[in-house]
Structure 1
Amino acid sequence: MTTTQTPTAWPENVIARYFTLAGPSVPGATVDLTHEDMSDTAKATRATCNCCQESGQFEWADQYPRHCRPGYVDYQNQRKGDYNARSWAQSHAETCRALPAPSPAEPEPKRRFWLPGQRTA
């Protein structure tokens, strides 16, 4: 007998997802990678564990000034930041044993106490 799992939609801006040791049987046990804008020129790839909330941020930019030789510009592309974030996410997912926090339960409805002396027909 085979079981099929219905795929869940990834959150917005997630570019990659790694399962932690809990595996695909536990919903939310993933490490997600996203791109963030730090400023106009600086950008970053962030890897966030949805179980233990640990994260790594790997900055990259299309260009940035070279401080040891003024006037020159070094280039670091998105692939380098993504590679570092994927490496961190893979190594963290292989060792993270935390489980995601349970979703908050729906609050119980407010109960009214019935006292026999206050009953009206």
Structure 2
Amino acid sequence: MFTRAIVRPPSPNFAEGLTTSSLGAPHYERALKQHQAYCRALEQCGLRLTWLAADEQFPDSTFVEDTSVIAGQCAILTRPGASSRAGEIVEMRRVLAGFFPALSGINSPG
């Protein structure tokens, strides 16, 4: 069972991130409220949250779950398919190193 979660609020420019949906333009204030509700739900489930700061350099970085796979005592950093997201791995590596003694990663071309 998981006892922790890593979260990052959306940055003001998150609407510039990648999307394939046709739901219209994202609304920053609504996204912030939804993220706050998501974090409250995680805490109500008993999880301790590790908060990362919003990062305008990477509009999609609020989706921290895309950057790693966690299973038991194993953490694997992913290799995002979009080059615009590749830099997100740098901070996630630093954060996960505080929880896991060894990290693995997916290398090119994977």
TM-score normalised per structure 2: 0.27
Structure whose residues are more often helix by fraction: 2
Q: Which has the larger radius of gyration?
A: 1
- Which structure has greater strand proportion? 1
RCO comparison, higher one (Cα < 8 Å, 6+): 2
